Structure 1
């Protein structure tokens, strides 16, 4: 699970990563996912190409320049691979942090997805956390039942 975020929202992203770990989900965050001595861009590209799910996180600082590039790459992957058989479809999940702009201010393509909204009750909002976890696990559960 890739956590695509603005570095200015890192504090909330760290908390979200901790909450996901508590739910048995391994989040990928750049500061822990890229080893010392590794090159930043190739590592990000590798994860973007392989991650089964991405949370595009929008917080009070909106989307940052690097985050936008990651989002565009994930959106391209989503469109290109959604109909390919034998390739796992990417789960793209918009996530709104407390202080995030209104959904209509999201990028136009991102508005078309159902989002997880932590704006009212913060990251401790259990129903929204459950909604996120269910979305992340949806494809894995479908494949194990089929």
Structure 2
């Protein structure tokens, strides 16, 4: 079964998944928040997901960031819509910055580097990788 991670934003949600052995995290898609429920319904008809991993937006001091309330609402609906799939949170403090740096160093053309949806999917991949590494120990 796969793991699925979300980098939730009010404009875009980056999504990443693991392979079925839960070894490798891969960027999957970026969707608009209004489209997430249809996307999940279609995806879950084809693949089994063991756990949802949601990035928890935090300030440097460890307190919730401004966008945390939106993430809480998203998590509530995830739990209500898919009660059999556990939802866990992972601190996402530096994922967007790390994702932006990785993209900058990637050698992609400028217009691709400025694609914010790419940052979101890479951030979701980093969130998932963090969770997978924490589970391994």
Query: What range is the shorter-chain TM-score in?
Result: 0.3 to 0.5
The two structures have a TM-score, normalised by structure 2, of 0.39
Give the number of the structure whose residues are more often strand, by fraction: 2
Give the number of the structure whose residues are more often helix, by fraction: 1
